[in-house]
Amino acid sequence: MANWLDSAIAFFSPSWGARRAAWRGSFEEMRNYDAGSNARLNANWRVSNASAEMTDRGYRDIIRARARDLERNSDLMASVTGPYKRNVVGRGFQLQAATKRSTLNKELEKHWKRWTQARNCDVTGTQSLNQILRMAVVRKKIDGGILFVKRYTSAGIVPFQIQMLEVDELDTMQTGTKANGNRVIGGIEYNRYNRPVGYWFRQYSIDGFSITEPVYVPAKDVIFYFDKKRPSQIREVSDMSQTITRIRDTNEFMTAVSVKERIAACLAVFIKKTFPPMTGGTFGRPATGQGAEERFSYDGKMLTPGMIKEMNVGDEAQVVNPTGQATDATAFTKLQQRMIGAGQGLSYEATSRDMSETNYASARQGIIEDELTYVEEEEQIIAILDEIYETFVISCVLSQLVTIPDFWDKKDDYLAHKWIKQPKKWIDPLKESSATKTALNTGQKTFKQIAAEEGTDWRQQIDDTAEVLEYARKKGIDLEGVIFDGKAKAAQEPEPEPQPEPGEGGTEPAGQDGKEPAAGEGSGEDVGETGSGKGGQE
């Protein structure tokens, strides 16, 4: 609306007033960001900027509680956490010690396999290392994080075990600034660079109620597994925070549809009475005597097939048949589950296990994209395994389970190792193997790369192949053509000696008596009984 100045200008000079109004309208239409506008559509969108800890602190616990509630009661929540657990950890990671001593490598791998059993690696003795890792992946998705605490006990084969603690056990009552200048926030002590130097944990009794004095654990003995999304973030937030509202809405929708369908499946009959059942009597008593009609109750009556039943005079039966049909729940839930999976970086097929709309190419592309999501979690899991393995090796040396005289001088060499994950099964193994063979033959991949993708060590694979071939030769079995392709086998076979021409080198000619064959008897024109050479001159 024009102000008084605009009105005055328009009164004395309409042309100038029109120009001024046009410029004012153009200026009002100018904007830089719709997302930053406070216009009508964004009127209720009020936000502010704050540090990550200030933003997360007030909502961390309630988001975690809601995510846990959905974990207990929602199949949609399980459809998201399940693929992470199966694909990030799966059957676990195989250790390959990489020291320069092969005998030491085998010894360390043997002890590691024993240590990963539940009675050796877990302070509670209830979970193997693979089970601990699977639980950790799920707890990170639901709770936002979990803590691995190194405990030095005498219960296992080495004086080292793992204790798993939930983020709830961080003592948030421990706050303030220490004498050394460190600050304690959310149960974690930080130095001036916001690097954790220690953790304060509540100590619950086994019933989960009574609490003793908190215990302090140095940061070198704690591995905090969580996602850090901002530089100012110091603690966890549930990975499902973007998704739990949609999961809950979908659950509520499905519950409403289920109730509606259950009601529609019921046959309800109501009796409409013309007169009340007690009419005609005194003080509420039914009328008696001559002319009074006998009335009966419908209590306990039920509809049966082929039923013929008389009703009271004036009564009318009305059948309740709900009209309409349920909302198309399939399309709605598919859309919701697609968005739920996308919010967690997964495809619809990975969360729903519905492959009805895919072919080989689309399923393969979906697996590739999902694998990129899982790799991010695998990196964190492998980093945790690296630290656990290094502590395990040091414990082996200190307990003299293995003897390495120069360990402390060459510690990095003796801690060298790598992890090999078990390969996944493909949709079409024939196509995958053909593609691998083509990539190898064209130089796009090396045998080392292919072996790594299959979860094996290329040196070990070659050694195993050579061992199999050598054993087969001793037993008189030729496996060359089975293990190698036809070209490799042909290269190993001796070339046949060239045959001399007829009449040369003292060999007999094609005829049986050394003479030229007669016409029609094996001459060059004779191509067999089905040919035209035999008797062709007839």
**Is the confidence at residue 485, as pLDDT, over 90?**
no
Beta partners for 185?
Answer: 188
> Can you give the pLDDT at residue 488?
45
| 194: alpha, beta or left? (left if phi > 0; alpha if psi -120 to 50) | left
Per the structure block, which two tokens stand in for 143?
Answer: 């709770």
CB 243 within 8 A of CB 80: yes
Contacts of 81 (CB under 8 A, 6+ apart): 71, 137, 138, 141, 142
Amino acid letter for position 190:
Y
> Residue 46 and residue 48: Cα distance in Å, rounded?
7
pLDDT band at 522 (very low <50, low <70, confident <90, very high): very low
Helix (H, G, I), strand (E, B) or coil at 216: strand
> Can you give the pLDDT at residue 528?
40
> Residue 156 and residue 312: Cα distance in Å, rounded?
83
pLDDT band at 496 (very low <50, low <70, confident <90, very high): low
CB 253 within 8 A of CB 158: no
Helix (H, G, I), strand (E, B) or coil at 375: helix
> Can you give the pLDDT at residue 32?
72
pLDDT band at 483 (very low <50, low <70, confident <90, very high): low
What is the rounded average pLDDT of the residues 86-106? 91
What is the rounded average pLDDT of the residues 19-30? 60
**Is the confidence at residue 457, as pLDDT, over 80?**
no
Contacts of 71 (CB under 8 A, 6+ apart): 77, 78, 81, 142
**Is the confidence at residue 287, as pLDDT, over 80?**
no
What is the rounded average pLDDT of the residues 113-134? 96
DSSP character string of 78-115: HHHHHHHIIIIITT-EEEEE--S-HHHHHHHHHHHHHH
What is the rounded average pLDDT of the residues 356-385? 89
**Is the confidence at residue 508, as pLDDT, over 50?**
no
**Alpha-carbon dihedral of residues 401, 407, 413, 419, nearest 10 degrees?**
20
Helix (H, G, I), strand (E, B) or coil at 317: strand
pLDDT band at 245 (very low <50, low <70, confident <90, very high): very high
> Residue 367 and residue 364: Cα distance in Å, rounded?
5
Average pLDDT, the chain: 81
Beta partners for 183?
Answer: 177, 190
More confident residue, 532 or 304: 304
> Residue 259 and residue 262: Cα distance in Å, rounded?
5
| 273: alpha, beta or left? (left if phi > 0; alpha if psi -120 to 50) | beta
Distances (CA, A) of 517 to 394, 500, 502, 520, 524: 87, 18, 12, 8, 10
CB 201 within 8 A of CB 224: no
> Residue 257 and residue 120: Cα distance in Å, rounded?
50
Residue 269: HSE in the Cβ half-sphere, 13 Å Cα cutoff: 11
Q: Give the predicted TM-score (pTM) of the model.
A: 0.72
> Can you give the pLDDT at residue 139?
97
**Is the confidence at residue 514, as pLDDT, over 80?**
no
What is the rounded average pLDDT of the residues 331-357? 90
Instruction: Choose among 170, 160, 172: nearest CA to 396.
Output: 160
Q: Which helix (H) or strand (E) holds 396?
A: helix 360-398
What is the rounded average pLDDT of the residues 157-173? 94
> Can you give the pLDDT at residue 499?
57
> Can you give the pLDDT at residue 497?
57
H helices present in 344-359, as ranges: 348-352
Residue 317: HSE in the Cβ half-sphere, 13 Å Cα cutoff: 13
Instruction: State pLDDT tens for residues 404-446.
Output: 999 999 999 999 999 988 777 766 777 778 888 888 888 888 8
| 482: alpha, beta or left? (left if phi > 0; alpha if psi -120 to 50) | alpha
Helices first, then strands: H and E counts in the chain: 18, 12
Per the structure block, which two tokens stand in for 329?
Answer: 């729940």
Helix (H, G, I), strand (E, B) or coil at 312: coil
**Is the confidence at residue 533, as pLDDT, over 70?**
no
Instruction: Choose among 232, 228, 178, 221: nearest CA to 199.
Output: 221
Distances (CA, A) of 131 to 128, 134, 144, 169, 382: 5, 5, 18, 21, 15
What is the rounded average pLDDT of the residues 125-131? 96
Please report the sign of the dihedral spanned by the C-alpha atoms of residue 61, residue 379, residue 147, residue 131. positive
- The size of the chain, in residues, is 538
H helices present in 96-170, as ranges: 102-115, 118-121, 129-143
**Is the confidence at residue 516, as pLDDT, over 60?**
no
CB 319 within 8 A of CB 268: yes
**Is the confidence at residue 283, as pLDDT, over 60?**
no
CB 159 within 8 A of CB 152: yes
pLDDT band at 324 (very low <50, low <70, confident <90, very high): low
More confident residue, 216 or 494: 216
What is the rounded average pLDDT of the residues 194-222? 88
> Can you give the pLDDT at residue 1?
47
> Can you give the pLDDT at residue 382?
96
Per the structure block, which two tokens stand in for 513?
Answer: 């008596």
Distances (CA, A) of 514 to 498, 503, 526, 528: 21, 9, 19, 21
Mean pLDDT lowest among 2-16, 115-129, 347-361 = 2-16
Place of tokens 């609306």: 1
pLDDT band at 182 (very low <50, low <70, confident <90, very high): very high
Percentage above 90 pLDDT, the chain = 43
> Residue 482 and residue 491: Cα distance in Å, rounded?
14
